[in-house]
Structure 1
Amino acid sequence: MSCKKAIEKKAEDMVMDAITHGEWIVEQYFEGSNNLSSLFSAYSFKFNSDGTLIGTANSVSTNGTWAPNVSDYTIDSEFPTAVDPLTRLIGVWKIKDSDWDYVKAEMVTANGTKLLILRKK
């Protein structure tokens, strides 16, 4: 393994560690100019290193999956058995900004642009 690849792998491992430790909440969610953040006020999310994702609201959990693509700065999320509002999170999100305790991502759809800001609890 080249030195560059080793450094990239270490950076990827650090990002995965930050994402998979702790729970996340939806701080803001917009569809176009419509602020729909309140739809997610009861939810928390747990991203697991095995690619599973759990959304929990009022002691009810919904299982899903997530797959990061480090080179494209995207995360693909799926909730196969979800109902609204979790169905709004299904798809490929382009990461626009992030730090250890937040992620700002966008998804462009046929109906417009969605904005999602996750914050670590």
Structure 2
Amino acid sequence: MKSYKDLDIYNLAFQYALDVHKVSLLLPKFELYEMGSQLRRSSKSVKDNIVEGYGRRKYKQDFIKFLIYAHASLLECLSQLQMIQNLYPNISVSSLIENYDALGGKIHSFITYVENNWKL
């Protein structure tokens, strides 16, 4: 692994953040700065925490801590998407919900891998 860009979880989180950004712009105007902004921030936080954790990978506990932050941001994003799905059924977010569910599992598995096997 030469870069955080080699991590599957980073690449997926990056792509999903782009997808979330586009979907958030479909919200009603009054939601763009409330729910839309919160959704965009949480989705981008997933990828950013993976990157920051990778930057601290020499310190295993820091790496794990930031991966846990990434997972927590993912859960926040998922919660926002579920709210949108219920409030605005005309905005399709079901595929994003599925994608984030799967990514959550991958991040969890990577945390377990780092906890048990991480060596520099």
More helix by share: 2
TM-score (norm 2): 0.31
TM-score (norm 1): 0.31
Larger relative contact order (C-alpha < 8 A, sep ≥ 6)?
2
